[in-house]
Amino acid sequence: MSSLSASDKTLVRESAVSIRSLGLVYKTTLDRRPTLRNRLGRLARRKRQTRIVHAVRDLTLDIPYGQVTGIIGSNGAGKSTLMRVIAGILPPTTGKVEVFGKVSTLLSLGVGFNNKLTGRENVYLGGLAAGMSRDQIDEKFDSIVEFSGLEEVIDAPMRTYSSGMQSRLAFSVAASLDPDIFIIDEALSTGDARFKVKSIERIRQMKSDDRALIVVSHALKVLREICDEVIWMDKGRLVKRGEPLEVIKAYRSFLEVGSSPETDEDF
């Protein structure tokens, strides 16, 4: 990956993700009042209501290697949408996104999990979905399970797992994929305190390996601790980016002034 020496890196950091004038628009058909009568009526009229959401607007941004980048913002700010675009799950509506490396993301893995299967089967399913071979998964299986701390229940169906346990397994699989760029979308606060500490350690280790870590979270305290830079998004736009403490402070005072429901979230 990086061929720069440590002293060079303080001056120039290689770009992991380059985003230019990105726009993402969702177009969905909408059932405003989903009663049977209503639906039949609308079908009869063959009329469709379309809802257009500008989830990301004119966003230009570079995310470098060798640092942890935090993303904050209220619900609906467009954070997850941006992550899906970086992960290649959603194509941009306008603008351009270039990704210089292999991306692994917890969100696409979570989608790959099947609740009826056991934890063990889901490790294989998630690994295969992410492009690992069966042999590669065999090789990593024990360390994945050990990291998740789920040895005792790994052969139980996943539906018997708490959501914290599910995200522990997802994190463990995703971190084992050896990604250049690792995206964690709101999965840090779901595990218990001990796992949180473990995942933060893992993130730090990946950062020292010169990877790019992108962490979306409402856990502002954690972000302040682990991030080198924080990006605040609102209504699909970049509001502020820079030194974590400064951006988090600005976001907090915005929340207080706006007295939005998000003020109750994990600080």
Ligand X SMILES: Nc1ncnc2c1ncn2[C@@H]1O[C@H](COP(=O)(O)OP(=O)(O)O)[C@@H](O)[C@H]1O
Stretch that binds Mg ion, among 15-23, 80-88, 162-170, 203-211 (CB under 5 A): 80-88
Residue 53 is a binding residue for ligand X (CB under 6 A): yes
Of 77, 144, 175, 248, which one interacts with ligand X (CB under 6 A)?
77
Of 16, 66, 69, 73, which one interacts with ligand X (CB under 6 A)?
73
Task: Name the closest residue to Mg ion (Cβ).
Answer: 80
Token readout for 73 is 């913002």
Of 76, 101, 112, 164, which one interacts with ligand X (CB under 6 A)?
76
Least Å distance, CB 145 to ligand X, is: 30
Nearer to ligand X (CB atom), residue 67 or residue 80: 80
Stretch that binds ligand X, among 62-70, 72-80, 137-145, 176-184 (CB under 6 A): 72-80
Nearer to ligand X (CB atom), residue 180 or residue 185: 185
- Tell me which long-range contacts 87-92 makes (C-beta under 8 A, separation of at least 24): 87/183, 90/24, 92/22, 92/23, 92/24
Q: Are 100 and 135 in contact (CB under 8 A)?
A: no
Q: Which amino acid belongs to residue 116?
A: K
Q: Are 210 and 4 in contact (CB under 8 A)?
A: no
Residue 219 is a binding residue for ligand X (CB under 6 A): no
The contact set with ligand X (CB under 6 A) reads 26, 28, 53, 55, 73, 75-81
